[in-house]
Amino acid sequence: MKEFDLIKHYFSEQSVNRKDVIEGIGDDCAILQPNEKQQLAVTTDTLVAGVHFPIETLARAVGHKVIAVSLSDLAAMGAEPAWVSLAITLPSIDEKWIKDFCSGVFELCEYFNVQLIGGDTTQGPLSITVTAQGFTPVGKHIPRGGANAGDWLYVTGEVGDAALALQVIQGKIKVETIYQETLQRKLDFPQPRVLVGQVLRDYASAAIDISDGLAADLAHICVASNVGVNLIIDNLPLSTAMRDTLSLDSAYKMALNGGDDYELLFTVCDDNKVAMETAIANTGVNITCIGQLNSSHKITTLLNGEHIYIDLQGFEHFS
Ligand code: ADP
Ligand code: MG
């Protein structure tokens, strides 16, 4: 049984169905409505040493990343982050490590005005769980399931660099020295697209953050929205490091199947396209249109206007 079947089979079915749970299990965050004026977005993510980050990762980077991945889920719902809780399991007390870890945590928290409000500290193999909470205006969160045939598909930033960085660290791929630092930074210090997410509330029909890989997370939008997509491979935003290191074919595959990018993948109806592009231009974050949705229930890949077959995968635990 795979990760998502397991969640569906064992955790999604329950006898309690509260009216204040607007979105339960299945999206980047749950959406809760404590009163008629406000909605809360809530997400939990765990990073396990050796699974989600190489053991030798700098403590500051681990601290940054654990906050970044949670804020990225809030961004994918269009939420404004407010609070985090931190549960940490440590093999031993290494004060230098903890100090550096905390600097990574608090740097990002300060930047987004997010307060650490609690957590838990235990002994065992290194693993960190963060629950992040934020606000969305009532009825304005961006679901995975709101996309329609005809909508345009966009992605922020560049994709595939985190996967490339991991392969470089693992010694599987060599890159020119000038790219080493930027790639390492992309993997260790992802920038959650918090502002873009909030701007998209007024324009996007669906959104998800790319944690498992563009193709896998696009499939989540397609399944939840009951649509398919023509994906224009030529348009995939690739960094110079990617283009200079890999053949175009390998770069496309890595951009589609590599995880850990924490960019936003979102859809916009034709009527909102121009206004959205103008609004996002003000955030300073690049976005690229990479396809259009249809009613096929399939992901079709096009290169130079012609269909090509690409083996689409994505990270899944227990697969
Ligand atoms: P993301 O990659 O956006 O963090 P996941 O793929 O981890 O999301 O999870 C998919 C959905 O399943 C989310 O809504 C998440 O809250 C839910 N989920 C995952 N594990 C569990 C669990 N053990 N119990 C309840 N819900 C879960
Ligand atoms: Mg997510």
Predicted local distance difference test score (pLDDT) of residue 152: 98
Number of H helices, E strands in the chain: 10, 13
Residue-wise pLDDT for 79-116, tens only, equals: 999 999 999 999 999 999 999 999 999 999 999 999 99
Percent of the chain clearing pLDDT 70 (strictly above): 98
Whose C-alpha lies nearest to ligand 1, atom 9? 26
| CA of residue 214 to ligand 2 center, whole Å | 11
Predicted local distance difference test score (pLDDT) of residue 162: 97
Q: Which of 3, 5, 7, 261 to mutate to test the pocket of ligand 1 (most atoms within 8 A of CB)?
A: 7
Q: What stretch of H or E contains 87? A: strand 80-90
**The pLDDT of residue 260 is above 90:** yes
**The pLDDT of residue 319 is above 60:** no
Predicted local distance difference test score (pLDDT) of residue 4: 87
pLDDT range class, residue 318, cuts 50, 70, 90: low
- Give the CA distances from residue 4 to residues 90, 201, 233, 263, 317, in Å, rounded to whole numbers and listed in that order: 28, 27, 27, 21, 9
Whose C-alpha lies nearest to ligand 1, atom 26? 25
**The pLDDT of residue 43 is above 90:** yes
Mean pLDDT of 41-66: 97
| CA of residue 76 to ligand 2 center, whole Å | 7
pLDDT range class, residue 315, cuts 50, 70, 90: low
pLDDT range class, residue 313, cuts 50, 70, 90: confident
pLDDT range class, residue 266, cuts 50, 70, 90: very high
Question: Closest-lying ligand to the alpha carbon of 208?
Answer: 2
Percent of the chain clearing pLDDT 90 (strictly above): 93
- Report the nearest atom of ligand 1 relative to the CA of 217: 2
Question: At a CB cut-off of 8 Å and minimum separation 6, what does 189 contact?
Answer: 61, 64, 65, 68
| CA of residue 2 to ligand 1 center, whole Å | 13
Question: Closest-lying ligand to the alpha carbon of 132?
Answer: 1
Query: If you count them, how many residues does the chain have?
Result: 319
Mean pLDDT of 292-317: 89
Structural domains in the chain, CATH included, are 3-137 (3.30.1330.10), 152-308 (3.90.650.10)
Question: Closest-lying ligand to the alpha carbon of 264?
Answer: 2
Whose C-alpha lies nearest to ligand 1, atom 17? 25
| CA of residue 25 to ligand 1 center, whole Å | 6
User: What CA–CA distance (Å, rounded) separates 132 from 151?
Assistant: 30
Residue-wise pLDDT for 163-199, tens only, equals: 999 999 999 999 999 999 999 999 999 999 999 999 9
| CA of residue 298 to ligand 1 center, whole Å | 23
Contact 100, 63 (CB under 8 A): yes
Question: Closest-lying ligand to the alpha carbon of 52?
Answer: 1
- Report the nearest atom of ligand 1 relative to the CA of 25: 14
Average pLDDT for the chain: 96
| CA of residue 290 to ligand 1 center, whole Å | 26
Q: Which of 9, 10, 16, 25 to mutate to test the pocket of ligand 1 (most atoms within 8 A of CB)?
A: 25
**pTM of the predicted model as reported, rounded to 2 decimal places:** 0.96
Whose C-alpha lies nearest to ligand 1, atom 14? 26
Predicted local distance difference test score (pLDDT) of residue 174: 96
Predicted local distance difference test score (pLDDT) of residue 311: 87
Whose C-alpha lies nearest to ligand 1, atom 21? 7
| CA of residue 213 to ligand 1 center, whole Å | 16
Ligand 1 pocket, CB under 6 A: 7, 11, 25-28, 45, 73, 211
Q: Report the side by side order of strands in the sheet with 228-232.
A: 204-209, 264-268, 152-156, 287-294, 228-232, 299-303, 306-307
- Report the nearest atom of ligand 1 relative to the CA of 212: 2
Mean pLDDT of 1-7: 88
| CA of residue 96 to ligand 2 center, whole Å | 31
**The pLDDT of residue 49 is above 90:** yes
Mean pLDDT of 264-291: 98
Residue-wise pLDDT for 193-231, tens only, equals: 999 999 999 999 999 999 999 999 999 999 999 999 999
